[in-house]
Structure 1
Amino acid sequence: MESRELQHVEHGFGPVWDTDSRVLVLGSMPSPKSREAAFYYMHPRNRFWPVMAALFDEPVPDATAEARRDFALRHRIALWDVIASCDIEGASDSSIRNAVPNDLAPIIRASRIGRVFTTGGKAAQLYRRLCAPVLADAGFDTPMTPLPSTSPANARMSLARLVEAYRPVAEACVAAGCRES
């Protein structure tokens, strides 16, 4: 196995959201495949999109940024990441150092986001440490729910278990009246 070194990485692309967004799903930092495609959860073995499709009883959106953006916005889900830049080894969240957070306040202020979900333990940890205090100082008290990672590195979680773990995303959408009938 080839040894990798930490490299400084910039996020490279912006959030997916609009003024009708009700739920914000935050990862830690896009994987190299996602950065290459300039969109979220684009590694072919990442299970994020199959999980979302199962939650909303729809086919998995095509593996294009446009189809996936449309899916998220249609369900009033905003997508972004906790980190704007960091030092990281490949896609290893456990290697993240020197994380600089994204400023979440502008999109929360300009939308109808009432709930934040983080995907993976590192995203939840960094959100609590770097983002929550800034949001609180800005007057936001948006609840955050940590979810397991959909990364292929989280092999212990089956697709069925991930769908159950992510059910609160769909429930938050239904509660906010954003799920299409």
Structure 2
Amino acid sequence: MGLAPIWTPSARLLLLGSFPSVASLQAQQYYGHPRNQFWRLLGDVLGEDLAGLAYAARLERLRARQVALWDVITETEREGSLDSSIREPRTSDLSALLAELPRLETIGFNGGTAARLGLRQLGASRARWRVLNLPSSSPAYTMAYDDKLKAWRALGD
């Protein structure tokens, strides 16, 4: 079982990953693997040192900055943490969450698996929002940090 969504009704940005890593599930924290670059990337986009904060403070800052966070998969069979190992995914109820986010403007997918499954779930309704396919923040995705950040900066536009 994955993690519960982090959101506030005033959210204007929704970031969607695929499914938490083993380390994230053990810690019960989004992007809990110390080498995952999510908190650093998002912090650089927002101009805040999110990576330097305790987890509860990170979530507080997300809500204050009108950012929601979830995964496109609620449950799956997977050995290890790689998306390529995902088997029989049970997708999240994105439509229910989206109904709770009336101010939403942008949906960002963290990585290819999240984008592929998430776009399928959104269907034609995706035209209501600006949708960004972002390079994965995972350490397994070996793109240079500066190149990832360049793409992630589109969230700030």
- TM-score, structure 1 as length reference: 0.79
Opposite residue 17 of structure 1, the aligned amino acid is W
Match of 1:74?
A: 64
Could you say what the CA RMSD is over the residues aligned between the two structures, in angstroms? Answer: 1.8
Identity %: 34
Q: CA deviation at 1:72?
A: 1.3
Match of 2:149?
A: 163
Question: Which protein has the bigger helix share?
Answer: 2
Structure 1: give runs of 5+ residues left out of the alignment: 1-9, 172-181
Structure 2: give runs of 5+ residues left out of the alignment: none
Change (3 A) 1:56 1:142: closer
Match of 2:29?
A: 39
Contact 2:18 2:114 in 1 (8 A): yes
Deviations 1:48-104 (A, max 9, x none): 111111112222344532021012112211000000111112111011121111111
Deviations 1:99-150 (A, max 9, x none): 1111112222122212211111111111123x113x74xx983342111101
Matched, 1:121 2:108: no
Which has the larger Rg?
1
Match of 1:106?
A: 96
Secondary structure class of the residue paired with 1:86: strand
Contact 1:16 1:79 in 2 (8 A): yes
Contact 2:17 2:72 in 1 (8 A): yes
Q: CA deviation at 1:41?
A: 0.8
The total of aligned residue pairs comes to: 156
Match of 2:140?
A: 153
